[in-house]
Structure formats: structure tokens, C-alpha cells
Amino acid sequence: MSGALREARVHRISAAAPDDVSGLARAIEEGRIEPGAIVAIIGKTEGNGCVNDFSRGLATMALGRFLLERAPTTAANACLVMSGGTEGALAPHFSVFEVRDAAGDATAAGALAVGRARTPAVPPEQLGRAAQVRMVAEGVAAAMRDAGIERAEDVHFVQIKCPLLTAARIAEAEGRGAATATRDTLKSMGLSRGASALGVALALGECRPDLDFDAIIGRDFGVFSRRASTSAGVELADHEIVVLGMAQGWTGPLAVDHAVMADAIDIEPVRDALARLGVDASRQLGPQARGRVVGLFAKAEPGSTGNLRGYRHTMLDDSDISATRHARGFVAGALAGIVGHAELYVSGGAEHQGPDGGGPVAIIVERHTTGTTP
Amino acid sequence: MSGALREARVHRISAAAPDDVSGLARAIEEGRIEPGAIVAIIGKTEGNGCVNDFSRGLATMALGRFLLERAPTTAANACLVMSGGTEGALAPHFSVFEVRDAAGDATAAGALAVGRARTPAVPPEQLGRAAQVRMVAEGVAAAMRDAGIERAEDVHFVQIKCPLLTAARIAEAEGRGAATATRDTLKSMGLSRGASALGVALALGECRPDLDFDAIIGRDFGVFSRRASTSAGVELADHEIVVLGMAQGWTGPLAVDHAVMADAIDIEPVRDALARLGVDASRQLGPQARGRVVGLFAKAEPGSTGNLRGYRHTMLDDSDISATRHARGFVAGALAGIVGHAELYVSGGAEHQGPDGGGPVAIIVERHTTGTTP
Amino acid sequence: MSGALREARVHRISAAAPDDVSGLARAIEEGRIEPGAIVAIIGKTEGNGCVNDFSRGLATMALGRFLLERAPTTAANACLVMSGGTEGALAPHFSVFEVRDAAGDATAAGALAVGRARTPAVPPEQLGRAAQVRMVAEGVAAAMRDAGIERAEDVHFVQIKCPLLTAARIAEAEGRGAATATRDTLKSMGLSRGASALGVALALGECRPDLDFDAIIGRDFGVFSRRASTSAGVELADHEIVVLGMAQGWTGPLAVDHAVMADAIDIEPVRDALARLGVDASRQLGPQARGRVVGLFAKAEPGSTGNLRGYRHTMLDDSDISATRHARGFVAGALAGIVGHAELYVSGGAEHQGPDGGGPVAIIVERHTTGTTP
Amino acid sequence: MSGALREARVHRISAAAPDDVSGLARAIEEGRIEPGAIVAIIGKTEGNGCVNDFSRGLATMALGRFLLERAPTTAANACLVMSGGTEGALAPHFSVFEVRDAAGDATAAGALAVGRARTPAVPPEQLGRAAQVRMVAEGVAAAMRDAGIERAEDVHFVQIKCPLLTAARIAEAEGRGAATATRDTLKSMGLSRGASALGVALALGECRPDLDFDAIIGRDFGVFSRRASTSAGVELADHEIVVLGMAQGWTGPLAVDHAVMADAIDIEPVRDALARLGVDASRQLGPQARGRVVGLFAKAEPGSTGNLRGYRHTMLDDSDISATRHARGFVAGALAGIVGHAELYVSGGAEHQGPDGGGPVAIIVERHTTGTTP
């Protein structure tokens, strides 16, 4: 990476439907986005975020087809991470990450850095088990190398899209005499998210490497990553990994930091992270400050104790609405109360991502000193 | 009312289930609540808050039976207002309102005042129409008289439980040759809530009395009350009305004020109301301040424009989860972010209650100067 | 029992709501039902049939309160078994079982016999385990003795209402250092239903007594009862057991038989059972034959293989609607196609009740030869 | 059409997911399907069948892309009609309709005939109004001409995919000062289906041409088509029309007939239609007869009276599950009870398609006399 200077750019684009690529097309036509520079798209789509969420697949197919026309190489390599579920007033949108070559001094203070990787396909019987944890850890290390981030502490967000079990995949494994970690498809989403998050924790030194992960995944939520964000989807069998951090060798106005919410309404750490990034959030952000917050990426979950600060919640006992849907809408409200809008990335299922009932939050901000993005 | 001094007391009691009266029983046994002094119970129960929400009926039956044993007169007269829907981390609970005789100077500065009334049963064909508006307005005036509140500006909250249409009620009306305002039972809940809210607006002088309410209900959301909170339930055919305000002739540590949220995340007015009541909410309330906030009562709704501050939300297009459920969970998150817990009363369906997409919020606080409640 | 002759009467009463006792009240006022003779009420109520189904509790409370007024002894002893979930066109209703003293020859051919029993409360940590199986088996034997049924083959239906785990019950057990079979409340319903069904199988000699039930419950669905029907509800901690069969010592026009559906649309055995009972079902029953079918009681479940006769179904992958709800509505359609209406008892969750994906069906018919019921 | 002899072939292909085109690919590779001969694909996909059903769009995109590769002309012209909702055990599948040139005598007795057409895009403000009825009627006439069907009585099924209103489309119309028939997106689906069905009725002479359709659509369900099947989807703005009937000029083993169910369990007319087609359905079809029933296409709806044959159903009062989902699963059970499997096309929302609560059923059967399909 030495010598080459890069700039990461992030564009948040509203989506009128899962397959709405018009905003992206317009940004390309207007010269704001260079299709060949796209390395990742992280989106919120409006399905249920659970097993039978076809909005993710639809978005992935539409974006993939679009990129194939505009930038075939990008289409083959870009990470497309769609997280389903826009409960409450969450707004469906895509965050498009570009990496561009830049002129200037590569030894400068640094800026937002983006790296990515894919893992091999995980066999159904390894999903939710230690083998998946180690596979993901290797993927995270590869993505850090791709970003030129050397120290784990400079990583602020690791977004992973991981697979889940379907009835068909379970049958395939069982046909080979292999037993899967669960036969419950909805539950498999949680196990896959949890194992992936522990893979991040392992890669970033947030947990000891010699843990018995098989006994921890989905059970001991005291072990977790403070920077992982994982989403499960039916549309892939491997892992797509995107690492965000601060690194030398990168320039531009963008910076990233992160907070950890201890529970679903623990919003003061988010305010503090905004302050560290130079954004005053003592009251709800006004229009100008809002414009500088390019992206907020959070995880939400119901909390396995069945209560929040001593008061019972009913998310886990609701057989009509999945608990993950409840949690996304509720946490979205808490965060939107700070930011002043709800075009946020709040993703459900935060197993081993932050403490039980809480979750990591990453924030990308346009710094004042460097002027406006092009 | 002259000469008699009263004190309103409010007890927020967690509920382990809709029919959990154990907290109320304990409070009575421990002498904190005098059953004969109960005038109203406003509860959040954990059903879906829509047509087929049986948690409300179950709570009403359980509370009614309990009161019948402990205080027959109270049971016959107390307003039991159950609002279904504890989306997100909202905690099921009951707020028990007592009115006690008090010693002291009835001409003092005043305190929280509580009044109540019931209307006659509304015929199905009048539901959601001008006749319901006027019926409710008379009920609100009666409840103000009951509270000894003379000026409309001293009213801060009017909670109304109103009926809805069921297939059976529609059939009954049609059997008499009468047409109901709608044949859609879910929609009837909105019309009834809206007509009731306009009844409050009419009673409090928030709208002109000569409006064509038939043309406004459910259509022109520019006409609304800033202090109404209405909930529809299958378990009654009339209206139960509870008015909260500040009035002379009342004593005790409690005070009430209100705010109006312009949209689902317009939380600064709530902070300001807390400040007026002497509670600093510049950051999330800590344990001590939380203890002083006896009750927060808010309305939530999805906003008919389909977007929040320019970003599309999907609540109105979701055929799996009712939009009212989305809105409750989301607004609950925004408010819990301020208050620091989610044992709040957030009630869905805010038609004509605050501006489109927003809603009124009433807050009852224990004032510092008057010491602690018994 | 020798010498005493009894008559079982069954009244199917439509319910306009879970707490609608008006039909029962009318039947009593008109002399059709003797409140002191009621031994059991088996109802379908219109909740979701899952964890947070409050329609069952509401019906139980309303019926209990009603019986307490009319027949205090009955209220204390009658089994009230409410099964939630009226998907499709299933009609909410109550089947009221009376046992009356009768005149005549106790050694005659026999008729519908009804027996009942309750077990002790099952500790949360025993739920879904072998201890629950054995507790239920003893209860079934007690209910058979109550009915005077000596041979297992004369039993045609065993209805059991069993408890489930809630967050609170799990916490209570864990507070004592005891681990429950699952921490997933919805899953606990299936385990409790399955263990109860295996208790029936054990009592009726449908399985070997030395099986390792802990390893079978919820896993090996090849072990099952052909006559068990179990429903889980949050409103009890023990088991309510009702046994239906044919026995000497009973008189009257009613007879009972049963069929086992091998899968969700295996309806020919039901037709054959109707034929054995003297009802021609070669085409859909016409009004007269329909009137003779006093009650049809069936279990439904999605089938764990994810397909029906080689074609994939999506019930297990649907995160919006519980699979048990899908199964009830679908099986209800198949059975209503035979019977000609949908006021049927189709209860979800058929773990170990009939083969995987199928379930038992019991039918009570008024025989021609004995004339009409009073 | 004179002189040319055609053969319609129908292939029912199971789908493992909405975007599973592998079965179609295999049929093409094995020479069973000629991609250039495909004129229509009618599918059941596994979304909720309501507004936010993205399974339809995903299937349409996947099939469209596949056809574009294999047969560009077909891709441009084939009608792709995806109906969402596989409640109960309904199996997701595609029915692929081919039209091939055939050798033989064009004046022979006739066989299954297929015709198709598309209409112009319907402006949002015309949706659900008389203009849509007339637009569709012209489309049906065009499709009949395409099939060479001269007499309305020879038409047995008209499948139409019609558009719906979204928040965006409503806003677009209102931006032009035009008012849509409703602002409720879910409701718009019903209005569009109803207007389309009345278009069929108008084209086939099932209703008088001078009716005031604006007053009838969605209100007077006494006016209906006995052969229309309409589905609304967000993915199109015009209408896709496929007509099935019997006509000279067509050859091959396939024949079509139809029945009308008077309510959700009125299955005897379906049995009779099978008998007319030479399939004995006095008991559930066995494997061989099942193989001859190439396709069964039915409409289902809850029935606006709130009861089925005098017993109350709860579909219309269920705020957790859309009534159309209930109806599909229930009717699917009734029909699968006859046919012996559930890979059936049961489509919800039968407004003006058959009588209130009932619906048309079309059946395509392979006739004995003509031997097996290639």
C-alpha cells in the first residue's frame, strides 16, 4: 500500500423500493459516483429481516444487474450487504462506498479507510459453530490488510453478511449424514450472526483465541465484539466482509468512530462519539449537522433477560411480531431522536455484537476542516 | 367544590400480565393505595392494540373483578382505560389515579387535578361522525367540572377510551337500515379515535365549533387537539373520559404539563416540558430524576405522508405489521431515550391528536418543593 | 360406578367473543343445560394460539366467573380447556360437556363416556421432560377410572390442557438453580404438548413404558399417540385432562370414534370414521347430516419435513405467521370440505399427536337409533 | 388463424425459492420446453400476497432475466403473472404455458387454447374506477382474438395481473391535482382486482355494459365474473392478461373447464368439473389421477359477511394476519382435500370474481383419449 494514497467516499442514497437503482444511476450520471470505484454497498431494505425476507435478494439482484451493466469488474467484486427490516420510520436506503486513488501525502494523519474480503462458503453443518468463527476471523484479517489498517484499535466497524440455514440446506447436510447446529431456520440466523461476530472479536483481539466457541455461540453473551455488525441472509452461502477504520494512506474529509450501547436506550455513548467527531449532539441535530453525519450503523436486539432497566418488555413473548423487528424499530426511535431523521442503518440480531440487549454503533462524519465532499 | 381540598395521587404499577392485579393488591395491603379513592386506571397492555386485542378486555375484567371485591362503589364508577400495544421495549403497566380528601388551604396555588365522566353509548352509525364529536365534547366539559378546572388552558391531558365497530355491530346497524361510517373494523378504530379527539378540541376551544366535522374526521388532519389521547377498544360502547390539569382546590406534590410533538422524533418539546416541571433532561434522566417522573403519556402514529422529514418510511405499506404498532415502538424509543426507561404510556392511533404524524405528550412530575409522596 | 347409569351430553355453542357466555346462559335458561352437570368445556378462541394469546385467558376467566355464579361446585371442578387460534374460517365456539344421571339398564351396549382429572402443578424444570410424561399418564388413568372405561381401546380422545414456560417461570426455576428444557417460550409450548401427548400414549399402551422419553420429546416424532389432543396455555401450571370414549354404564344417543390423518390432507380416514358412526360422507355433508355431527376435534401441524406429499410448503420458513397458525387454517379447510361448515375444533401443535404432519381426529355423532337429544 | 394448427402445453414446475429458475432451465435442457414457445408463466410465490410482497418482483426479475438469455423475443412478450401467498401447505411453483405449431387438421374438435394481451398503463387516478374496467375489457377481447376463441362461453379462465397504488403513485397523481380512488395502499389492491374482474365480466357478457361501475367496484359484489382471476402487484403499471379456453384450431391432450365455488368450502362443483373432464373425484385423487390434473387455478376470499354458513369467522377482525392470507390457506385446504396435494394456484382477493366469499376455479386436465403429453 505504501506510496499510494486513497480516498474513501460514502454516498447515502434513498431507495423507493428494494430494486430501486435510480438514485445510484443518477449519482453516476451526474458524476458524483464512479461505478468502477464502488467497493461495497450496505443497504437497508424493507422486508421482515427474517428468514422469508425477499427484499434483500431483490435488492441484491437489482444492484448486481445494474453494476454488471455499468462496471462489470465492480459487479464481480463489490460487497453487497443488504440488511432487511425498516421497522418504525427507518428509511430504506443504500450506502455506497467508493475507494478512489487520490493525490497528496500518504503519510498524513489519515482518514476513513475501507477494506473488504469474502470467505469460502460455509458448509451448513459448520454454521453457528467454531469453524465459522475461525473462518470469519481470517476474513476480517484479510479485509484489514486490504484497507491498510495495521492496528486493531483503528478498526471501528466490521460489517458482515453471513448465510443462514434453510430447510433445503439442512436436508442437504443431513443427506450427507451431517447434523446442523439447529433445525430451526429462524434460529440459524442468530447462530450465524453470533459466530460471525465472534469471528470479529477473535480477529480484533476482543476475546481470547482459545475459547470454546461451540459452547459460547448463542449461549454466553458475555463474550462479544464491540465493533461487529452481522446480518444473515438467504441469498449467500459465504461471508461478505467490509472493514471500516482510520488509517494513514487515506485522505478526504471523512472520519469514523464508534460507540457501544449497553442496552437499547443507552444513547449517551452515541452522543459522545458524535462529539469526538466534532458534531455537537447536546440537542437533536439540526439540518446542517445532520448533513455532516454521512452514515450511522447500529445493531439492535431485544435483550435476553426479558426486561430493560428493570421493567419487563414483551418482545420475546410476542408470537405475532419477531423480537428482532420490535428491537429494530425501538432502537431506531432512540437513535433518530439524536440524529433528527431515520435514514439510519439499524440492523437486528445483535448476538455477540455488543453486550446482551445493546450493540455497537459506528458513525461516519464529514469533518469540518477538510471542506465539503465533491 | 369550594372549601373542599383534594389531592390527586398517581401510582405506576408494573404488570406481569394483562390480568396481573398483584401489584395493585400489594399497594393496597401496604396502605399506599386506598381502594375507595381510585377514580381511574390508565393501563398499557400487551396485545396488538388493534381490533382483536383481548389483552385490554382481560385487564379490564381482572381489574373490575378485583375492585368489585375491594371497593364496590369504586368498581362501579372508576374509569378503566386500557390501551393495547407494548411494541419495542414498552413495559405493560397500570397508572392508578386516586383522589383523596386533603387538609389545608383550598385557595393555594394548586396541583394536579383529575376529573372524569362517561358518555351515553354511541350508536354504531354515529361512530366516526359529528354526533360522536359533540357527545364527547359534552363529556369533556363534564369531566372538567368534576375536576374543578375552569379554564381550558389549565387542561393538559384528556384521555378517552372510545368504542369501535365490529362485524356484529355493523350488522346490527345495517339490520336497522342504518349505514355505518365504514365497514372496515380496523378503520373504525381510527374514526372513533379521531372523532373523540375532535370532541376534546371542541371542548377546549382548539377548533371552531361550527366546523363540518363529518368532512374532517379521518380526512383533514390539520384540525386537531393538542391535549387529547384517545384509544379504541372492543370492550365498551360508550366513552370513558379522564381529564388531567392544574387547578386550585387541589394539593400535593404532583404537577402536570404537556408538549406537542410535531412528528415522531420531535422530542425537544418534551425536554422543554420536563424543564418547565423542574426536571433537567439535557441528558438522559438519571435514576433520581426518573423517579420523579411519575407518568408520561404520549400518542404515536405513522404520519399519513409516508415519510418522516423527507425520508420514506414503510409503515403504511407493511401488510404484516399494523402501522400503529410500528409507530408505537418507534416513538417509544425516542421518548425512552430521554426518560431512561420504557415503562411509558405510548398509545397508537393519534388521529386528530396533535399534528399529522406527531402527537401530544403529557407528563406528571413530583415537584421538589413539596417533598415525597407517601 | 356399578349400578349408576350416566348420560353424556355435548352442546356446541357459538361464541361472539372470547368472553361471550350469552349462549351458555341462554341454554341454561331454556333448560337445555343443567349448570351443575357440566364437567368440561372445550373451546376454540380467536387469539393467535401462541404464547401471547390472551383470548384463552379471557374465555377462561369469563366462563369461570359465570359458572361461579350459577354452579359454584361445577366452577371449582369443571375442566375448562381453551385452544386459541381460529385461522381460516374456523368459528369460535364452546363445546359444553354434561354428565347427567340417567334411568335405565346400566349393562346396555354403552354410549359416549366422559372422564376427567387434574394433575399436580408441573415444576418449570420438569416441563417437556420425562417427569411430565409420567405425571400425565397417571392423570389419564385417573380420568379413565372417572369415566368407567376399562379398556384402552375404548378411549377415542384425550384432551389435555398443559402449561408452558414464560420468561417469569424460567427465571423462577433458574433462581432455584434449576435449568428448564428450553429458554424459548414459544418452543416450550411444543415441548409441553409433546410430553403430554406421550403421557397419553404411555397410559393407553401406544408406546413401550421403558422408552427414554427425554430423548424422544420434540425429537423422535415416530413415537406418538393416536388419540391425544394437547394444547398449551399460559393460564395454568398443571394439566386438565378430559377422556372421551365408549363405555357401558352410559346411555344416550351420542357415540364417539376417531381417525388418524397421516398428513394435513389425509381426509379419507375421517370419512371412514363418519361412515362407521353411520354418517354418509361420500359427498360434503348436507344440513341434516351436519346437525348429527355434534363435534369434530382435530389436531394440525405443519410437518417437520418442510413438504407435503413431495411438494415444498413454506410454513416453517415464514417469520410473519407462526407455522401452527398456517397449519390450523389449512387443515380446517380440508375438514370443513367434508363436514360442510367450519365450527370445528382444530388445534395446532400436534407434536407426538398422530404421525409427523398429521394428527388424530375425534368425532362425536348423534346416532339415528336413539332419537334426538333433548 | 385459419389453417394454422396450434398446441398449448402446460408445465407445472416446483420452485425452491422465488428466484429459482433451475426447474425451468432443466426442462429446457431436457427438451421438454422450447423457450421461444413460452407465452405465459403463472406462478405462486411465497410472499405475503399483499402490498409489501417482494417475492413477486423477485420471481419476475429472475424469470425475466432468464428468458432474456434464452429467448429474447419471448422475454419481451411473455406474460409473467406472479401471485404472492402460499399459506397453509400451498407449494410455490410456476405454470409455464407454451404455444407450439402443430401438424394436423385445424377443424378438429379443439383443445386448450391460450391467448394473451397487455393493456396500456393505467393512470393512478383511474385505478379502481370504470376507466380501468373498460380498459381491461378491451384487453380481454384482444386476448380472445389472440387465442382464436370466438364465443364467450368457450372461455374458462381469464388471469389478469393488475397494478396497485403505492404511496409514491398516490403522491404522483395528487401532485397533478388528481385524486385516487383510495389512499390506502392495501385497499387499492382490492379495487384494482375488482375493476379488472369486472372488465372480464364486461368482455364475456356476464354483466350489462351500461352499469355504473364506479358505484359497483368494491361495493356491490352481486356483480361478478365467473371466470376472472386477478392479482395485484407493485411491479407493473399496466395489465397482463391471459385467456384460457377451448377452441378449434388447437390440438393436443389438454382440456380446460371451470367451476364456481359459492363459498370457501363449496367444493362439490369442483368435483363435478373434474368429472366433466373425465377425472373421478368421488374420493381424493390417487397418484395417477393427480398426474393428469396439470393445473388448478382458484380464487379465495374471506367473505364480507363475517360468517360462513351461519358460523362467524374471524378473518376480517384479525389485525395480525391479513384476511386474504387466511382465506388462501383455508380454501387451499378444501381444494387439496380433493386433489391430493397442495401445489395449487390459490390466489387471494376475489373481489367480483365469483360470488362474495366464493370464487372461480379453472382446471386443466390431460385427457385420456389423446395419450400422454410429450
Percent of chain C with pLDDT over 90: 86
Residues whose CB falls within 8 Å of the CB of residue D26, separated by 6 or more in sequence, listed in order: none
Q: Could you write out the DSSP letters of every residue in B349-373?
A: --TTBSSTT-EEEEEEEE-STT---
Q: How far apart are CA C88 and CA C79, in angstroms?
A: 27
Q: Angle at CA B35, nearest 5°, toward B34 and B41?
A: 110
The Cα of B316 is separated from the nearest Cα of chain D by a number of Å equal to 8
Query: Can you give the pLDDT at residue A318?
Result: 94
Residues whose CB falls within 8 Å of the CB of residue D115, separated by 6 or more in sequence, listed in order: D143, D144, D145, D146, D147, D148, D149, D242, D243, D245
Residues whose CB falls within 8 Å of the CB of residue B321, separated by 6 or more in sequence, listed in order: A87, A321, A325
Across the interface, whether the CB atoms of A319 and C53 are under 8 A apart is answered yes
Residue B58 in contact with partner chain C when CB distance is under 8 A: yes
**Which tens digit of pLDDT belongs to each residue from C356-373?**
999 999 999 999 754 443
Across the interface, whether the CB atoms of D284 and C264 are under 8 A apart is answered no
Across the interface, whether the CB atoms of C171 and A306 are under 8 A apart is answered yes
pLDDT over 70 at D64, yes or no: yes
pLDDT over 90 at D236, yes or no: no
- Chains touching C (at least 3 CB pairs under 8 A) are A, B, D
* b/e per residue A266-278 (b: at least 16 CB within 10 A): bbbbbbebbeebe
pLDDT over 80 at C345, yes or no: yes
pLDDT over 90 at B107, yes or no: no
Return the biggest CA–CA distance within chain C.
60
Query: Can you give the pLDDT at residue A104?
Result: 80
Q: How far apart are CA B229 and CA B40, in angstroms?
A: 15
Across the interface, whether the CB atoms of B51 and D171 are under 8 A apart is answered no
Closest CA to C307 of D213, D331, D15, B66: D15
pLDDT band at C107 (very low <50, low <70, confident <90, very high): low
- Chains touching D (at least 3 CB pairs under 8 A) are A, B, C
pLDDT band at B1 (very low <50, low <70, confident <90, very high): very low
Q: Which amino acid is at A129?
A: R
Contact A148, A95 (CB under 8 A): no
The Cα of C109 is separated from the nearest Cα of chain B by a number of Å equal to 45
Query: Distances in Å between the alpha carbon of A164 and those of A64, A124, A169, A190, C288?
Result: 21, 8, 9, 9, 53
pLDDT band at C236 (very low <50, low <70, confident <90, very high): confident
pLDDT band at B51 (very low <50, low <70, confident <90, very high): confident
Query: Distances in Å between the alpha carbon of A184 and those of A191, A235, C317, C319?
Result: 10, 18, 9, 11
Residue D14 in contact with partner chain A when CB distance is under 8 A: no
pLDDT over 50 at D371, yes or no: no
Q: Which amino acid is at C256?
A: V
Residue C312 in contact with partner chain A when CB distance is under 8 A: yes
Residues whose CB falls within 8 Å of the CB of residue B348, separated by 6 or more in sequence, listed in order: B49, B83, B85, B299, B300, B301, B324, B325, B327, B328
pLDDT over 60 at A160, yes or no: yes
Query: Can you give the pLDDT at residue D372?
Result: 40
pLDDT over 50 at D374, yes or no: no
Q: Which amino acid is at A211?
A: L
Query: What average pLDDT does the segment A43-53 reach?
Result: 94
pLDDT band at A165 (very low <50, low <70, confident <90, very high): very high
Query: Can you give the pLDDT at residue C182?
Result: 95
Active-site hit among D161, D225, D229, D299: D161
The beta-carbon neighbor of B316 closest among D185, D312, D316 is D185
Q: How far apart are CA D197 and CA D161, in angstroms?
A: 10
pLDDT band at D2 (very low <50, low <70, confident <90, very high): very low
| Sheet of C254-261, strands arranged across | C254-261, C359-366, C293-300, C345-348
What residue ranges in D25-76 does DSSP mark as E strands?
Answer: 38-45
Q: How far apart are CA A263 and CA B108, in angstroms?
A: 44
Q: Angle at CA C142, nearest 5°, toward C136 and C147?
A: 125
Query: Can you give the pLDDT at residue D1?
Result: 42
Q: How far apart are CA D237 and CA A243, in angstroms?
A: 41
Contact A253, A110 (CB under 8 A): no
Q: Angle at CA C43, nearest 5°, toward C53 and B45?
A: 25
The Cα of A324 is separated from the nearest Cα of chain C by a number of Å equal to 11
Helix (H) or strand (E) holding A114: strand A111-118
Closest CA to C166 of C154, C177, C158, C174: C174
Query: Can you give the pLDDT at residue A374?
Result: 36
**Which tens digit of pLDDT belongs to each residue from D323-362?**
999 999 999 999 999 999 999 999 998 899 999 999 999 9
Query: Distances in Å between the alpha carbon of D95 and those of A103, C115, D15, D256, D343?
Result: 57, 52, 10, 14, 10
Across the interface, whether the CB atoms of D57 and A16 are under 8 A apart is answered no
Q: Which 8-state DSSP code applies to residue A57?
A: H
Query: Can you give the pLDDT at residue A371?
Result: 41
pLDDT-wise least confident of A117-121, A229-233, A369-373? A369-373
Residue A264 in contact with partner chain B when CB distance is under 8 A: yes
| Active-site residue flag, B229 | no
List chain A residues with CB under 8 Å of D19: 57, 61
Helix (H) or strand (E) holding D298: strand D293-300
- Chain-centroid distance, C-alpha B270: 16
Closest residue of chain D to C18, computed from CA coordinates:
D314
The alpha carbon dihedral of C138, C141, C143, C145 has a sign of: negative
The SS3 call for residue C362 is strand
Q: How far apart are CA C157 and CA C154, in angstroms?
A: 9
Q: Angle at CA C122, nearest 5°, toward C153 and C174?
A: 145
pLDDT-wise least confident of A190-199, B178-187, C294-303, D140-149? B178-187
Across the interface, whether the CB atoms of D57 and A168 are under 8 A apart is answered no
Across the interface, whether the CB atoms of D52 and B319 are under 8 A apart is answered yes
* b/e per residue B50-67 (b: at least 16 CB within 10 A): bbbbbbbbbbbbbbeebb
* b/e per residue A136-161 (b: at least 16 CB within 10 A): bbbbbbbbbebbbbeeeebbbbbbbb
**Which tens digit of pLDDT belongs to each residue from C135-188?**
999 999 999 999 999 999 999 999 999 999 988 899 999 999 999 999 888 889
- Extract the C-alpha cell encoding D309: 354458513
- Extract the C-alpha cell encoding D261: 365455488
Q: Which 8-state DSSP code applies to residue D225?
A: B
pLDDT band at B184 (very low <50, low <70, confident <90, very high): confident
Q: Angle at CA D194, nearest 5°, toward D191 and D198?
A: 140
How many CA atoms lie less than 13 Å away from C347 in the CB half-sphere?
34
Q: Angle at CA A364, nearest 5°, toward A363 and A366?
A: 135
Across the interface, whether the CB atoms of D284 and C268 are under 8 A apart is answered yes
The Cα of D145 is separated from the nearest Cα of chain A by a number of Å equal to 35
In terms of DSSP H, where are the helices of B209-303? 213-216, 268-276, 287-292
Contact C198, C207 (CB under 8 A): yes
**Which tens digit of pLDDT belongs to each residue from B272-294?**
999 999 999 999 999 999 999 99
pLDDT over 60 at B2, yes or no: no
Q: How far apart are CA C154 and CA C144, in angstroms?
A: 10
- Chain-centroid distance, C-alpha B304: 22
Across the interface, whether the CB atoms of A65 and D62 are under 8 A apart is answered no
Residues 85-144, chain C, touching D (beta carbon < 8 A): 86-93
Q: Give the ipTM.
A: 0.93
Closest CA to D47 of D233, D295, D185: D233
In terms of DSSP H, where are the helices of A31-80? 54-70, 72-77
What residue ranges in B5-127 does DSSP mark as E strands?
Answer: 5-14, 38-45, 79-84, 93-102, 111-118
pLDDT band at B77 (very low <50, low <70, confident <90, very high): confident
The beta-carbon neighbor of D167 closest among B51, B168, B317 is B317
Across the interface, whether the CB atoms of A167 and C316 are under 8 A apart is answered yes
Closest CA to C158 of C353, C355, C328: C353
* b/e per residue D82-115 (b: at least 16 CB within 10 A): bbbbbbbbbbbbbbbbbbbebeeebeeebbbbbb
First-last CA distance in chain A: 24
Residue C368 in contact with partner chain B when CB distance is under 8 A: no
Closest residue of chain B to A89, computed from CA coordinates:
B313
pLDDT band at C225 (very low <50, low <70, confident <90, very high): very high
First-last CA distance in chain D: 24
The Cα of C233 is separated from the nearest Cα of chain A by a number of Å equal to 13
The Cα of D327 is separated from the nearest Cα of chain A by a number of Å equal to 18
Query: Can you give the pLDDT at residue D233?
Result: 81
**Which tens digit of pLDDT belongs to each residue from C192-202?**
999 999 999 99
Query: What average pLDDT does the segment A132-141 reach?
Result: 98
More reliable by pLDDT, A372 or B210: B210
pLDDT over 70 at D107, yes or no: no
Query: Can you give the pLDDT at residue B3?
Result: 59
pLDDT over 50 at D370, yes or no: no
Which residue is associated with the grid cell 463489490? A78
Query: Can you give the pLDDT at residue C234?
Result: 80
Q: How far apart are CA A351 and CA A346, in angstroms?
A: 14
The SS3 call for residue B200 is helix
pLDDT band at B369 (very low <50, low <70, confident <90, very high): low
pLDDT over 50 at C1, yes or no: no
Closest CA to C7 of C84, C97, C89: C97
Closest residue of chain B to C84, computed from CA coordinates:
B54
List chain C residues with CB under 8 Å of D341: 265, 308-311
- Average per-residue pLDDT in chain C? 94
- Confidence (pTM): 0.93
Query: What average pLDDT does the segment B8-21 reach?
Result: 97
pLDDT band at A118 (very low <50, low <70, confident <90, very high): very high
How many CA atoms lie less than 13 Å away from D63 in the CB half-sphere?
33
Contact A105, A21 (CB under 8 A): no
